[in-house]
Amino acid sequence: AQSVTQPDIHITVSEGASLELRCNYSYGATPYLFWYVQSPGQGLQLLLKYFSGDTLVQGIKGFEAEFKRSQSSFNLRKPSVHWSDAAEYFCATTGGGNKLTFGTGTQLKVEL
Amino acid sequence: EADIYQTPRYLVIGTGKKITLECSQTMGHDKMYWYQQDPGMELHLIHYSYGVNSTEKGDLSSESTVSRIRTEHFPLTLESARPSHTSQYLCASSDGRRTYNEQFFGPGTRLTVL
């Protein structure tokens, strides 16, 4: 079965600084990978997704992620963080199946 | 505008009450899901449906039940609410014709059982 690990529970960055959130997956074949963002009291919004092809994918709100098969990773990046990016970020995978498996999430705090 | 809706957004209720959390989507998706999320925790799948009259239990055991009588509607019911049911409940849907199962989420219902 597929699984997702997000090693960082909390991350704090200064506004304007770059950001990288880590995600490692476990699946034998090429997985389908997603990054979602959840603001307090809200549902999840899809930031970006990877299925195949170009390993660097662009998403909404200036986010991007890079799929690295050799490292089983799908890290989320943003060159310059805005205060409004403070939220919880979830990495998820379907592993080619129908069910989404989520990581435990990374809480991002942005210092002004 | 195609979207997914959940009502109520917040519910505070006493122990023993029967409650139904509503979820509707206007995207024409055949697959729908219910997740339970405790504060600061990951999401756990509790129910899913692949179409009308199809319902399955998810990975996390739940005392709730669901029904799928119409494609766009996927309500979740708790016959007798208990404090242990206090949580956030998120509904999602996806297009079964796509192999990658991109799921779209509603805003959630935050349930508090006193």
User: How confident is the model over B102-111, as pLDDT tens digits?
Assistant: 899 999 999 9
Q: What six digits make up the tokens of B96? A: 């079964």
CA distance A12 to A108: 6
- Which candidate from A94, A103, A104 shows the least CB-CB separation from B101? A94
Task: Round the CA-based radius of gyration of chain A to a whole number and report it.
Answer: 13
Give the distance from residue A15's alpha carbon to the nearest chain B alpha carbon, in angstroms.
Answer: 23
Sorted by sequence, the CB contacts under 8 Å of residue A28 that are 6+ apart come out as: none
Q: At A31, is the pLDDT very low, low, confident or very high (cuts 50, 70, 90)?
A: confident
Whether A99 shows a pLDDT value over 70: the answer reads yes
Q: Which residues of A touch B102 (CB under 8 A)?
A: 34, 46, 49
What is each CA distance from A81 to A6, A85, A106, A111, B74, in whole angstroms? 19, 7, 15, 10, 37
Buried b (16+ CB within 10 A) or exposed e, B63-76: ebebbbeeebebbb
Q: End-to-end CA distance of chain B, in Å?
A: 36
